[in-house]
Structure 1
């Protein structure tokens, strides 16, 4: 996987996730043609994930998708589990990586909710209607 200085935008995407689909659609509606990485099929390397966490300024635990059954099986919610162990689990089981993650020249973020992507876009649309009919607005102020 390439370094985190993309020439274009990048999204770690799960097409089965509504939030991920909405985020990608906001990006496209804003004129972006992001590189789409279906991370369940093409997971990041450990080094790339560590770099990504640093760029997002979040801990591995904050990126952990705790709703997944494998999270409970591995006991990752235990406060004694180290960041390194959580990262190792994410690499072994990419479903544990929360999504969508967007990387642009403006930074990187876990875009939950999907409208968090507005801050990462060069020319975000002023409003967007999500799949469920909710309209979200980009606050330009």
Structure 2
């Protein structure tokens, strides 16, 4: 089974998502998209497969979003994609690709919907939130 995560190791959500993939016994392909950004076609495909609009896939926080005027609703998808490719920090993260689908894993537990293997044990997010119990079952908070 092939799984890829577009990962930013400085992001807690991305680290939690990667840890849940590994908690299922899977070592994914890790793409640190800030240094190895997706191609335009790859980015468009991920956004489309995740059921998002281009605007929904843009990260606003801690990015040049405002400085670049990306809040202008008249901008086209192509203009937004151009900005995301020129400034990969604008690509929201983490995107995860599995045989069961593509998701923008915000919050991180969204990844559980597309993992082809169950969780193998307890998992606690970095902030202390219990996500998975000792039996590998999701805990509803």
TM over 0.5: yes
Work out whether 1:98 is the aligned partner of 2:92: yes
CA contact (8 A) 1:27 1:124 kept: no
CA contact (8 A) 2:63 2:90 kept: no
Offset of residue 47 of structure 1:
1.1
Offset of residue 122 of structure 1:
1.3
Q: State the 4+ residue runs in structure 1 displaced beyond 2 angstroms.
A: none
CA contact (8 A) 1:66 1:77 kept: no
Structure 1: how far apart are the matches of 2:27 and 2:72?
39
Offset of residue 127 of structure 1:
4.7
Q: Aligned pair count?
A: 133
Structure 1: how far apart are the matches of 2:37 and 2:63?
19
**Bigger share in helix:** 1
Equivalent residue, structure 2, for 1:134: 129
* Pairs within 5 Å for 1:17-96: 17-96=11-90
Equivalent residue, structure 2, for 1:110: 104
SS state of the match for residue 43, structure 1?
coil
Q: Calculate the aligned-residue CA RMSD, in Å.
A: 1.3
Equivalent residue, structure 2, for 1:8: 2
SS state of the match for residue 44, structure 1?
coil
Equivalent residue, structure 1, for 2:116: 122
Segments of structure 2 that go 5 or more residues without pairing to the other structure are: 133-137
Structure 2: how far apart are the matches of 1:124 and 1:66?
33
Segments of structure 1 that go 5 or more residues without pairing to the other structure are: 1-6
Moved more, 45-54 or 99-108: 45-54
